[in-house]
Amino acid sequence: METTADESTDRVENGTAAGAPGSFKAGMLRGLLRRCPACGGRTLFSGYLAVHQSCSACGLETGSFRADDAPPYFTIFAVGHVVIPGMLALERGVHPPYWLQLALWVPATIALTLLLLPRIKGAVIGAQWALRIRG
């Protein structure tokens, strides 16, 4: 079935361009890469966590997706599952002094959190796009 230019324009305006909603894996992967979940353009974030109101490439209204508390929750979950086993393994195997544990794991926790938070927020927005969930 062939689509006309008018139908393509209508699809873009309705936010169903390039990988229509329902493409869960593609939406989450594009969001994880901090790109528009619909077209993959580099326009999802205008800052560290601030989302552009719309994609400059396909016109998807990305500002209408509300990630709210999910990204911090998933970030804490992921970072905790990396840091805590590492901390416990180091303690059990080497038993370093507490200052060394602090010097190692506090910066690791902060770095992992800052690295993962925008990517997880992008993945949540990608999942919301795929499932047609709007704020």
Amino acid at 99: W
Quick check: is 135 in a domain?
Answer: no
Residue 92: predicted pLDDT? 96
Quick check: is 100 in a domain?
Answer: yes
Quick check: is 111 in a domain?
Answer: yes
Confidence of residue 128 (pLDDT cuts 50, 70, 90): very high
What is the distance of C-alpha 96 from the center of its chain?
A: 35
State the residue range of the domain holding 40.
5-130
By mean pLDDT, which of 28-32, 109-113, 129-133 is the weakest? 129-133
Return the number of other C-beta atoms located less than 10 Å from residue 108's C-beta: 15
Quick check: is 59 in a domain?
Answer: yes
Quick check: is 73 in a domain?
Answer: yes
- CA dihedral (36, 39, 41, 43) in degrees, to 10, reads -30
Distance CA 29, CA 123 (A): 7
Structural domains counted in the chain? 1
Mean pLDDT of the chain: 86
77 contacts 83 by C-beta, under 8 angstroms:
no
Residues 67-124: tens digit of each pLDDT: 889 999 999 999 999 999 999 999 999 999 999 999 999 999 999 999 999 999 999 9
pTM exceeds cut of 0.85 = no
